Structure 1
Amino acid sequence: MNVLITGASAGFGEALARRLVAKGHQVIGCARRLDRLNALAQDLGELFLPVVMDVSHPETIPKIIADLPEFFKQIDVLVNNAGLALGTEPAHEADLNDWTRMVDTNIKGLMSVTHAVLPAMVARDSGYIINVGSIAGSWPYFGGNVYGATKAFVKQFSLNLRADLVGTQVRVTNLEPGNVAGTEFSNVRYHGDDDKAAQVYSGFKNMTGDDIGDILLWLIESPAHINVNRLEVMPVAQTYNGLTIAKQDK
């Protein structure tokens, strides 16, 4: 099986790549950082193909997919894992550049890779697209503004893909994690402020990138006649908040 993973150089993507190769699957690992990809390739060997891809530049993606070596050209599973959050300011104080970058990566990038890979899956009547969304696509929180909106797009896009693919054997899942420690997510969100990032995960037992890697592997190896439409997963310590009310003093 050939699995293409975006954002493969760290976090969920790296964890999944290691698991897939250990099971004998071939992995096309796509990310921006060639040095990280090459280090991973040294560990994983010939079953791992490092490919430089910046999904925020959609015009480059069709050629990258078309130029894959013959041995890796058929993509059986696409894991749209590349994505990011930037900033936690309320909307009226947010940096527009952060908003734009999240839209370019989380929406346009995911669409572009899917658009490049999906036609061949439909032609073969076989394939699987797993989109890594977030609980932020369903549950709003302070400072989540555009990040949550991009993940709401991913959720609805995944469901609409399912609708369009009726009658085919192509599967689509939206995986929606909550808090996950041990990745670069919060470090990126806080623009490299490691102390702020660490505070997000202090005081409770978090999920890890390895946990999400295990879930992704389970999805990929699930029976081909089963489709998991959405899978929301949180650490036990995390749950839904009540609706916030801003009370005024009398």
Structure 2
Amino acid sequence: MSSSTAQAGSAEQKVAVVTGASSGIGAATARQLAAQGYHVVLGARRTDLVDELATEIGGTGRQLDVTDEASVDAFLEGLDRVHVLVNNAGGAKGLDPVAEADLDDWRWMWETNVMGTLRITKGLIPALIASGDGLIVTITSIAAMEAYDNGAGYTSAKHAQALLHRTLRFELLGKPVRLTEIAPGMVETDFSLVRFEGDKERADAVYQGLDPLSAEDVAEVIGFVASRPPHVNLDQIVLKPRDQASARRNIKTG
């Protein structure tokens, strides 16, 4: 099932929603959860890619722009029973110092990482509770824990996204919903390509000389989280490649 009007799985099958599912961590997570038996509802702006992946894994592809309320409302229609939500949509733009900040880039990062996560999560909380065993996984970053030069736009947005998620952990205490924050370090995906506005040479240089995580590495961790019994809550997981010690220090920076 790949059409936007398809029903999300049979009455017995567990349902997982993955945002930003057209490539990278989102696509790898969709494959991982489908392999674990979930009917996966994939959301992304690039409908051709999510439809293709949905067909591959037997899921449902829907158009989704998390910065657009009408798009979010249409995406959420009919999703009244959801067991797993993976908030993966996000990204960075630019590496400008604060003194030269591009306000449009900042707005995009906050709209995508923070408000986008809020829109989707708020909309699916009733469905997650209704499942009787819900799980919210939010993909933040080590940028949600550290600051680094020229990264204030992204790090501030990721800090805010993380605090949204961590606050919800308190607010949903006593409800049948678990919450896990996953904070990756360097993952080789389209992340740097988006940050540098399609400059492939500059994006590739970020990972040259070290061995970063892959999207599949992160997806396997998400799959493990989703496979835990209902009483086990993995609150926060930080994963980095061996070659990276912090946001500012790796084997290239010393």
TM over 0.5: yes
Deviation at 1:43, TM superposition (A): 1.9
1:50 aligns to 2:61 (yes or no): yes
Match for residue 21 of structure 1?
34
Residue 40 of structure 1 pairs with residue 32 of structure 2: no
1:105 matches 2:112: yes
State the 1:146 CA deviation.
Answer: 1.4
Q: Is the 1:58–1:108 contact (alpha carbons within 8 Å) kept by the matching residues of 2?
A: no
2:247 and 2:46 mapped to 1: Cα distance? 37
Contact 2:184 2:238 in 1 (8 A): yes
In structure 2, give the amino acid aligned to 1:139. Answer: E
Cα distance change on mapping 1:242 and 1:23 into 2, 3 Å: closer
Cα distance in 2 for partners of 1:23, 1:80 equals: 18
Q: 1:120 aligns with which of 109, 114, 127?
A: 127
Aligned AA (2:216)? D
Runs of at least 4 residues off by over 4 Å: none
> Can you list the C-alpha shifts for 1:149-190, whole angstroms capped at 9, x where unaligned?
111112211111111111122111111000011x11000000
Distance 2:15 2:132 in 1: 15
Deviation, 1:91, is 1.4
How many Å apart are 1:22 and its aligned residue? 2.0
After TM superposition, the structure 1 = structure 2 runs for residues 1-250 of structure 1, keeping only pairs within 5 Å, are 1-44=14-57, 47-68=58-79, 73-181=80-188, 183-240=189-246
Mapped to 2, the partners of 1:201 and 1:111 lie a distance apart of 31
Partner SS, residue 94 of structure 2: coil
Identical amino acids, percent of aligned pairs: 35
Please, which runs of 5 or more residues in structure 1 have no aligned partner?
A: 244-250
Cα offset, 1:124, TM superposition? 4.7
Q: Give me the whole-angstrom Cα distance separating, in 1, the residues matched to 2:131 and 2:78.
A: 19
CA contact (8 A) 1:90 1:143 kept: yes
Q: Separation in 1 of the partners of 2:23 and 2:248? A: 34
Q: Find the residue that maps to 1:180 and give its secondary structure.
A: coil
Taking the aligned partners of 1:133 and 1:192, their CA distance within structure 2 comes to 22
Contact 2:76–2:124 under 8 Å retained in 1: yes
Query: In 2, Cα distance between the equivalents of 1:42 and 1:168?
Result: 34
Tell whether the 8 Å contact from 1:154 to 1:174 is kept in structure 2 after alignment. no
CA distance in 2, matches of 1:160, 1:105: 19
**SS of equivalent to 1:121:** helix
**TM-align CA RMSD:** 1.6
Partner SS state of residue 172, structure 1: strand
Structure 1, residues 53-75: CA drift from partner, whole Å, max 9, x if none?
A: 1001124323421245xxxx411
Inter-partner Cα distance in structure 2 for 1:177 and 1:242: 14
Contact 2:44–2:63 under 8 Å retained in 1: yes
Partner of 2:163: helix, strand, or coil? Answer: helix
